[in-house]
């Protein structure tokens, strides 16, 4: 006999969502929230939101944009964020006012960079260097044939021979290594391959489908068989915006980006959600632990514990049917197979 138990935390979230029709102070503000907060260097938007709000992704709903500021979305160190109310509804702004009229404000921010949703260094670790492409494209891409003198160890400053058709008018290329493949095992109709940037090359000479090139940068050793992609930097979006993911979208963590023993805060994961699911960078989802079967020590029954929310993540880069996300918070272990959904 199997008994299914729903975690109390999930019940709270469900009840909360049913009554959260309007964004009143009682429903969204933390009990111990301050009336103002001075932004510090190193703060993130997620952490600042968590100072005031029970659910940090509700920030866009109560952030009041001062039209007098050049870019009202951006927040900088030394800014003061004020909490005020109108008609019982809370507002956060850079203006200490209880009225709807916002006064002009100027800021000297030359020595600072704006506050981001999460630390940029956490993004740089995988977003810029990782892509997901159709596996059929990988087989057709040019690749590293050999190092000069047939050497096996290839690094910055070495010459290499490439094989495949390159753009005759383009000389800068990136070198990618084939990583994990996501296909039928993860529920996809076709295979998707992760490729990871390991270096860059500049063309020296082309002869038919053989090209001699110079390695201009490398993150380690370049291997024979690594693929060649026309140089195009993946630009990090200015992730200053947080938004709850669509409530009708459910997915799961299919992999972790790094082979760490445990997925923790600011680690990257791969989701089985992409453009086809309507997700965009900035969408926040709950991480829901996969069902866990345990044996009741008294009755010896198998009891299934479900719907445990163990953290949050934010989508940072989206492809056709997969996306990269970064863990914002983790109250327990997170593993491939855990679900992602938004119930609030």
pLDDT in tens, 34-74: 999 999 988 988 999 999 999 998 888 888 765 555 666 67
Confidence of residue 10 (pLDDT cuts 50, 70, 90): very low
Q: Where are the domains of the chain?
A: 33-116, 130-230, 243-341
The rounded distance, in Å, linking the Cα atoms of 31 and 12 is 16
**What is the tens place of the pLDDT at every residue in 193-226?**
999 999 999 999 998 899 999 999 998 889 999 9
136, containing H or E segment? helix 135-140
Judged by DSSP in three states, 194 sits in strand
Residues 6+ apart with CB under 8 A from 298: none
The rounded distance, in Å, linking the Cα atoms of 75 and 92 is 12
Residue with more model confidence, 250 or 149: 250
Pairing, β 2-6 against β 302-306? parallel
The CATH code belonging to domain 243-341 is 2.40.10.410
């Amino acid at each position: 006999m199997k008994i299914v138990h729903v975690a109390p935390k999930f019940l709270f979230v469900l009840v909360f969502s049913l009554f959260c029709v309007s964004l009143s102070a009682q429903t969204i503000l933390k009990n111990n929230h301050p009336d103002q907060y001075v932004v510090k260097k190193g703060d993130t938007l997620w952490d600042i939101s968590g100072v005031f709000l029970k659910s940090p992704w509700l920030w866009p709903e109560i952030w009041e944009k001062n039209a007098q500021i050049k870019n009202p979305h951006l927040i900088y160190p030394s800014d003061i964020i004020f909490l005020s109310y109108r008609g019982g509804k809370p507002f956060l702004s850079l203006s200490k006012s209880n009225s709807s009229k916002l006064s002009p404000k100027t800021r000297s921010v030359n020595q600072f960079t704006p506050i981001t949703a999460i630390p940029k260094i956490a993004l740089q670790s995988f977003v810029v260097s990782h892509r997901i492409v159709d596996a059929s494209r990988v087989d057709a891409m040019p690749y590293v044939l050999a190092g000069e003198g047939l050497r096996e160890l290839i690094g910055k400053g070495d010459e290499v021979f490439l094989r495949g058709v390159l753009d005759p008018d383009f000389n800068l290329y990136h070198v990618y290594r084939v990583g994990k493949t996501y296909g039928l095992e993860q529920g996809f109709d076709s295979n998707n391959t992760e490729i990871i940037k390991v270096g860059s090359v500049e063309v020296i000479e082309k002869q038919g489908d053989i090209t001699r090139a110079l390695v201009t940068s490398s993150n380690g050793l370049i291997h024979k068989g690594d693929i060649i992609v026309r140089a195009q930097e993946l630009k990090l979006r200015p992730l200053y915006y947080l938004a709850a993911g669509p409530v009708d979208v459910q997915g799961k963590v299919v992999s972790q980006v790094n082979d760490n023993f445990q997925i923790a805060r600011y680690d990257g994961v791969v989701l089985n959600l992409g453009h086809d699911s309507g997700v965009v960078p900035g969408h926040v989802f709950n991480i829901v632990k996969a069902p866990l079967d345990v044996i009741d020590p008294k009755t010896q029954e198998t009891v299934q514990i479900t719907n445990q929310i163990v953290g949050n993540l934010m989508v940072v880069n989206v492809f056709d049917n997969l996306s990269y996300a970064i863990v914002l918070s983790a109250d327990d272990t997170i593993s491939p197979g855990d679900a992602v959904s938004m119930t609030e």
